[in-house]
Amino acid sequence: MRLKDKVAIVTGAASGMGKAIAELYANEGAKVVVSDYNYEGAQTVAEAITNNGGVAIANRTNVAELADLENLFAETKEAFGKLDILVNNAGIMDGMEPVGEITDEKWDRVFAVNTTGVMRAMRIATNLFLEQGHGVIVNNISAGGLRGARAGAAYTASKHAVTGLTKNTAYMYAQSGIRCNGIAPGGVETNIGSTMTNISEFGMGRQMTGSGTMPRVGQPMEIAQLALFLGSDESSFVNGQVIAADAGWTAY
């Protein structure tokens, strides 16, 4: 019970890595807010956690909308009285477009979800954590936040931005009882590909040239195990790090 009596928000938790993180956190004693734009999916996950003896509530949030994020934190505080851990997991892909093909509309949409939404959630959480005197942020970033050829220009730039935001936040609040770390998963078996639209043939072809160096595809629970470590007190001396979980893909 490494998260006994902790309260955690997990965004994008209706499926994939977010679902695995929410379930594992609950198994380790956390009260979990299962947040997702797909409210029915979030409800299904929360109900399964409850039926398994855990504590969870579902929440519908479009992380690109500030009002939704404000409501997410308000509901969390109303239900549980506090927040200990924020896991920013929600994200979308681009269409592998290189910079010469990216449209303003696609760029803005990807950044709204992957970067601005994360920043806003961190801003709200940080001010809450400062009042409490403690708190942990775990950002599920991507190998695309460390390397340049894991997606298109918009996704890559959006994830690099969150890498910088993670490090900056960790240093700024290191003496305020707040920790902020990130995870950089490699290829993981999720449904994020369903968010891809108008796929660039050229961009996909260029990106695929490095796919053969991927040792294997990971499972969501393998990422959840790292999120558990970073969210728990076991990682009390780990701050400002973005840890790759990719079977060695970025080692190439």
Determine the Cα–Cα distance for residues 166 and 168; give it in Å rounded to an integer.
6
Determine the Cα–Cα distance for residues 147 and 250; give it in Å rounded to an integer.
8
Instruction: For residue 155, indicate whether it is catalytic.
Output: yes
Q: Per the structure block, which two tokens stand in for 22? A: 């929410």
Integer CA distances (angstroms), 201 to 140, 186, 197, 206, in order? 27, 22, 12, 9
Q: Report the candidate in 241, 228, 146, 212 with the shortest Cα–Cα distance to residue 185.
A: 146
Strands (E), the chain: 7-10, 31-36, 55-60, 85-88, 135-140, 178-185, 242-245
Integer CA distances (angstroms), 239 to 30, 108, 139, 178, 180, in order? 21, 30, 12, 9, 6
Q: Tell me how crowded residue 196 is: count the other CB atoms within 10 A of its CB.
A: 17
Q: Which of 25, 37, 155, 173 is catalytic?
A: 155
Residue recorded with tokens 């269409």: 95
Buried b / exposed e along 12-44 (16+ C-beta atoms within 10 A): bbbbbbbbbbbbbbbbbebbbbbbbbeeebbbb
Residues in the chain: 252
Indicate left, alpha or beta for 198 from its phi (over 0: left) and psi (-120 to 50: alpha). left
Q: Per the structure block, which two tokens stand in for 149? A: 């050829």
Catalytic residues: 155
